[in-house]
Structure 1
Amino acid sequence: MAGPTISRRQLSGVLRRLRRERQMTLEQVAERLEWSTAKVSNFETGRTAKPSVTDVSALLRVYDISAGSPEDRAILALVRQSRQRGRWAQYGDVLTGEYAGLEEEASRISSYEPIVIPGLLQTPEYARLHMQSASAPRVDSEIDRTVEARVQRQEEVLQGSAPELWMIIDENALRRMVVDQEVMRGQIDHLITVSEDLTNAITVQVLPVATSFHSGLVGPFVILEYADEDIAPFVFLETDTDGLYLEREEEVSRYRRLFEQAQSVALGPQDSVQLMHGLTT
């Protein structure tokens, strides 16, 4: 069963698809239900945090979905799932926003990181050191909670029906934080182990410092894609408070091109492993 965050996104995609298949505008639906256009739009964009069964049922009747039909029951099941407490709610004090829930349900995660090691590949020791070295360091208790949450996220995302991960890491990120050589050596060894494991779906490429790649000016980004066609892909740009979610087709296409450019100029997986071996000797 999908978590509430992804269920809400799936519900939004289904409702948007049904309206378009009926060739109806937001205004026409709103008029039929005597709702505001904004209310209809909020269901389709996921801004309605806890959609009600009654409201969604009303929408389904407008779209000629019969009450009690298999499609009706499936969609209302999404409504109920979207209202449940998510597994990451217990870490609400250190994990803001909905990204963790979206990440664990993705079928493919493409990440470009010019500054630090991507969170899904961080060792606990590296994650702790990174947080302690931040310009606004957290207190120890908060760091402990954040590291715990990150380890659990890795276990949830990387085990079971794991997504395909394609991580491009700038060489500079591998050379940072030399204040603790042992931590960095352990982190790089972990990246090597993950890269050489043929049983996972993880690809790591290193972008060497000698490469003239300028898309780094946009900063780090993650592209999340889903097997369900009703869940649109999006780009995530992390911030201190949560992040920006870019969902327009032209925005996603732009970042896909940037990622493909980075793939083309970065070292291949085997050469990336060789470079990382050289950093630990």
Structure 2
Amino acid sequence: MSALPEPLPDPGASVLSMGKEPGRAAADRMLGQELRALREARGLTLRQVAPVIRGSVSKISRLERGESPPKRRDVLDLARHYGANADDMWMIERLLELGRTSEWYEQFSDVTPDFLKRLIQMEGDAEEICVYENLVVPGILQTTAYARCMVEAAMPSAHPDEIARVVELRRQRQLRLMEGSLPRVTVLLEEGILYRRYGEHEVMREQLDHLLEACGVAKVNIRVLMMSRAYSATPPYPIMHLKFGDPEQSELAYVEHISSATYVTRPRALDDYRNALTKLRQAAESMDDSRALIEAAKGRFA
């Protein structure tokens, strides 16, 4: 079996990285960060660019800090002045759109980092999603009980109310995705996930039952990667690949870290992630064999 591309791209070379930042007006802050990064990349000062939007230094400063509502004309004039490329302009357009709408997940702003809000927005726009997971069941397929165990393990010092809100966010995220026009979803799971216990046996039985139910959904394709197979260079972290109907920006890859996430949009880097996922699909068991593996794992938690 052929090896996966190695190494995967250096995130700093071709991606946009989003750090964890709680609080209000997430889209406006992210938009301001985008504009500031573009300005600084051109070596321009606030005073030099203020005339572009017929404004003052303080107006530019407030815009970059996300402290004033952005005007579409101002934002686009600045982006063009900075020489933003097609990827940058697509991202700016989406952040402008997000800032104009009141999304359902804003009610969870206090427990949702900005990089995750951005992913949830894009999941709703995607026509196809492919997820590779090496440690846990991906969030879009987690049961409530399994999600609670995951959140408690990841946030050991959190107040029970905070944990409950994070779990509810995950539940709402899954419901919204499934109740809407469901995209085609391919989930590639390392076999060890089926045996790695979170919570009591009944939690795992319920989670594995949920995976088996998902196997019967027309647009959901769950494939298991067996631990005994001799394939090499698998990614050491989860990857999500999303395809959109927008011809200007048809896809992106998402790689989540402990307190941040990386969004890959540049073609060369996307090729590497796309090829990695293609190799994983080729290495994975068939849908029927994957279902049998999930059934077998469920028997271990009887």
Q: Could you say whether these structures have the same fold, taking a TM-score greater than 0.5 normalized by the shorter chain as the test?
A: yes
Q: Does 1:110 align with 2:127?
A: no
Q: Does 1:250 align with 2:268?
A: yes
Q: Are the structure 2 counterparts of residues 51 and 218 from structure 1 closer, same or farther at C-alpha, using a change threshold of 3 Å?
A: farther
Q: Are the structure 2 counterparts of residues 179 and 89 from structure 1 closer, same or farther at C-alpha, using a change threshold of 3 Å?
A: closer
Q: Are the structure 2 counterparts of residues 48 and 265 from structure 1 closer, same or farther at C-alpha, using a change threshold of 3 Å?
A: farther
CA RMSD of aligned residues (A): 3.4
Deviations 1:232-253 (CA, angstroms, capped at 9, x unpaired): 4211111232311122111111
Q: Are the structure 2 counterparts of residues 164 and 225 from structure 1 closer, same or farther at C-alpha, using a change threshold of 3 Å?
A: same
> Displacement, 1:56?
5.8
Q: Name which of 71, 84, 98 aligns with 1:52.
A: 71
Q: Name which of 130, 146, 169 aligns with 2:166.
A: 146
Amino acid at match of 2:194: L
Q: Does 1:195 align with 2:212?
A: no
- The residue that corresponds to 1:86 in the other structure is 103
> Displacement, 1:187?
0.3
Does structure 1 retain, via aligned residues, the 8 Å contact 2:127–2:245?
yes
Q: Does 1:214 align with 2:225?
A: no
- The residue that corresponds to 1:204 in the other structure is 222
Amino acid at match of 1:112: Y
> Displacement, 1:57?
7.5
Q: Are the structure 2 counterparts of residues 180 and 77 from structure 1 closer, same or farther at C-alpha, using a change threshold of 3 Å?
A: closer
Provide the secondary structure at the position in 2 that maps to 1:216: coil
Q: Return 142-151 or 216-225, whichever deviates more.
A: 216-225
> Displacement, 1:159?
1.7
In the alignment, structure 2 segments of 5+ residues that lack a partner are 1-25, 35-41, 43-47, 54-63, 82-92
Name the CA distance, whole Å, in 1 between partners of 2:275 and 2:76.
40
Name the CA distance, whole Å, in 1 between partners of 2:123 and 2:275.
21
> Displacement, 1:34?
5.8
Name the CA distance, whole Å, in 1 between partners of 2:94 and 2:200.
50
> Displacement, 1:158?
1.5
- Which structure carries more relative contact order (alpha carbon 8 Å, separation 6+)? 2
> Displacement, 1:213?
3.1
Q: TM-score, structure 2 length as denominator?
A: 0.67
Amino acid at match of 1:265: A
Alignment of 1:155-166 (within 5 A): 155-166=175-186
> Displacement, 1:266?
0.8
Q: Does 1:186 align with 2:206?
A: yes
Provide the secondary structure at the position in 2 that maps to 1:88: helix
In the alignment, structure 1 segments of 5+ residues that lack a partner are 13-25, 37-46, 63-75
Name the CA distance, whole Å, in 2 between partners of 1:81 and 1:238.
21
Deviations 1:45-85 (CA, angstroms, capped at 9, x unpaired): xx9976413326768x99xxxxxxxxxxxxx9995664333
Amino acid at match of 2:296: G
Q: Are the structure 2 counterparts of residues 128 and 135 from structure 1 closer, same or farther at C-alpha, using a change threshold of 3 Å?
A: closer
Provide the secondary structure at the position in 2 that maps to 1:110: strand
Residue identity (%): 27
Name the CA distance, whole Å, in 1 between partners of 2:140 and 2:97.
29
> Displacement, 1:273?
0.3
Amino acid at match of 2:135: I
Amino acid at match of 2:272: R
Does structure 2 retain, via aligned residues, the 8 Å contact 1:168–1:205?
yes
- The residue that corresponds to 1:19 in the other structure is none
